[in-house]
Amino acid sequence: MANDRVYLNGDYLPLAEAKISVLDRGFLFGDGIYEVIPAYKGRLFHLDDHLLRLEHSLAGIRLDNPYSRRQWQAIFAPLLSPGRDQYIYLQVTRGAAPKRDHAFPENTPPTVFVMCSDIVPFAGKVAGISAVTEADSRWRLCNLKTIALLANILHRQAALDQGGAEAILIKDGYVTEGAASNVFAVINGELLTPPKDHAILPGITRDVMVAIAQKHGIPCRESAISLSELKSAEEIWVTSSTREIIPVTELDGSPVGDGKPGLLYRQMDGLFQAYKQSFA
């Protein structure tokens, strides 16, 4: 549930009063980018990494960053509650031009929207989730966090329709990522995750996991994962800012490993929780 107060183009106002034009290019074209930043007990987690990814996303769609890092931080601060685990959702679109035209508009300020919501613990965390593999139907700029998420939505819904909770996407026989998550697999005792390229979003949670594994001497490597390797993986997890690390205990109707969250998952989740506490 979003807090009642949100930020829109320089003002804080009640959510119900936050309105944008129907000519906004975010609405008409999905022409914009977004970012999701968790905050534990009011402290933003890996803020600089999220703001750096925001800069890359904006540059990738040729939109100027409307604010400095310090200004962004000042915008977020009044929306956060110190005692709560929450996440900031921010969105920047190419604004509302006088007419609908694919060409970039001139002299059109961007639309900037920010809201803050509670992080609701994800039910699938304890027992694990079912995932289904799907042929990745997305474009070649998946490294940018754009608001044009229709392909991701269709993949996620296809998974839900089959009783799963996440789709794991396959391109040319190899895992890219989840519909809204990055993928890790334990194969021959080694933790693998696909390398960062234009086929995946460079997940902040993913990078934190890799750093934690390296720090604790857990064998972990960036590597392409084929569909057949995924199908015989000892463990599979998906990671994201709002759900953290979620074990996949069933893939395409078959159990992953013994069908329960694995040992390495439990170790990494424990390390992640401890790291999070040290951050908050």
Q: Annotated active-site positions, please?
A: 145
For ligand PLP, the binding residues in 88-127 under the rule CB under 6 A are none
Nearest-approach distance from CB 15 to ligand PLP, in angstroms: 21
Q: Check binding of 79 to ligand PLP (CB under 6 A).
A: no
Two tokens at 63?
């939109």
Structure tokens at 89: 């959702």
Q: Is 181 a residue that touches ligand PLP (CB under 6 A)?
A: yes
Contact between 239 and ligand PLP per CB under 6 A: yes
**Distances in whole angstroms, Cα of residue 227 to Cα of each of 139, 155, 171, 182:** 20, 17, 9, 15
The DSSP symbol for 17 reads G
205 is an interface residue for ligand PLP by CB under 6 A: yes
**β-strand partners of 250:** 130, 255
Residue 249: CB minimum distance to ligand PLP, A:
20
Q: Which of the ranges 19-27, 76-84, 191-199, 234-242 carries the binding residues for ligand PLP, by CB under 6 A?
A: 234-242
Estimate the crossing angle of helix 204-215 against helix 263-279, to 10 degrees: 100
Distances (CA, A) of 176 to 110, 127, 226, 256: 31, 24, 10, 18
Interface with ligand PLP, residue 251, by CB under 6 A: no
Give the residue with the Cβ less far from ligand PLP, 23 or 80. Answer: 80
Min dist CB 182 to ligand PLP, Å, is 5
Binding span for ligand PLP by CB under 6 A among 3-11, 87-95, 104-112, 236-244: 236-244
Q: Which of residues 161-180 bind ligand PLP (CB under 6 A)?
A: 177, 180
- The verdict on 241 binding ligand PLP (CB under 6 A) reads yes
Q: C-beta of 92: minimal distance to ligand PLP in Å?
A: 17
Judged by CB under 6 A, which stretch of 13-21, 62-70, 160-168, 202-210 contacts ligand PLP? 202-210
CA distance 109 to 25: 11
Which pair of structure tokens corresponds to residue 259? 């069908």
Q: Which is nearer to ligand PLP, 58 or 97 (CB)?
A: 58
57 binds ligand PLP (CB under 6 A): no
Establish if 80 lies at the interface with ligand PLP (CB under 6 A): no
CA distance 70 to 3: 22
**Residues 276, 277, 280, CA angle at the centre, nearest 5°?**
85
Query: By three-state DSSP, how is residue 276 classified?
Result: helix
**249 lies in the binding site for ligand PLP (CB under 6 A):** no
Alpha carbons within 13 angstroms on the beta-carbon side of residue 276 total: 18
Q: Say if residues 179 and 133 touch (Cβ distance below 8 Å).
A: no
Among the listed ranges 62-70, 102-110, 115-123, 233-241, the one in contact with ligand PLP (CB under 6 A) is 233-241
74, two tokens: 């000042």
Q: Answer positive or negative: Cα dihedral of 252, 254, 255, 256.
A: negative
Q: In whole angstroms, what is the distance from residue 105 CA to residue 103 CA?
A: 6
Please report how close the Cβ of residue 109 comes to ligand PLP at its closest, in angstroms: 27
Least gap, CB of 19 to ligand PLP (angstroms): 26
Residues that bind ligand PLP (CB under 6 A): 36, 152, 177, 180-182, 201, 203-206, 239-241
